[in-house]
Amino acid sequence: MIFLNEKIKPAIQTSLGAIVFTSIFASIGHYHNGNILFIPGILVGIGGLIGVQISTRFLPKIPDKNVQLLFNTLLILLANYSFYLSFNNS
């Protein structure tokens, strides 16, 4: 977003598109190595499909500033969680 001067919504959509291809090829690789748990994978996939349907319907209706605020909040929460785990697992 910073380097390409792109808005948040197209960046999220592009990221979701890239995740589709990444997950397909990663799943193929893991299948060949015998690392696939089919039932949990199907459940996670169904959850992902539901989440994508919800987000594609609601994302265009949310103002850009609110999306940016939610995204930044998520990043801060994940950074704090990672920081917490790094010090409590040592």
HEC string for 75-90: HHHHHHHHHHHHHHCC
Name every residue whose Cβ is closer than 8 Å to that of residue 30 and which is 6 or more positions away in sequence. 36
Q: How many CB atoms lie within 10 A of CB 66?
A: 10
pLDDT tens digits, one per residue of 23-73: 889 989 999 999 989 899 889 889 988 988 888 788 889 898 998 899 899
The answer to whether position 3 is within a domain reads no
Domain count, the chain: 1
The answer to whether position 2 is within a domain reads no
DSSP one-letter code for 60: G
Tell me which residue range forms the domain holding 74.
8-88
Residues composing the chain: 90
pLDDT tens digits, one per residue of 2-12: 677 778 888 87
pTM metric for this prediction: 0.60
Task: Identify the sign of the CA torsion 8, 12, 15, 21.
Answer: negative
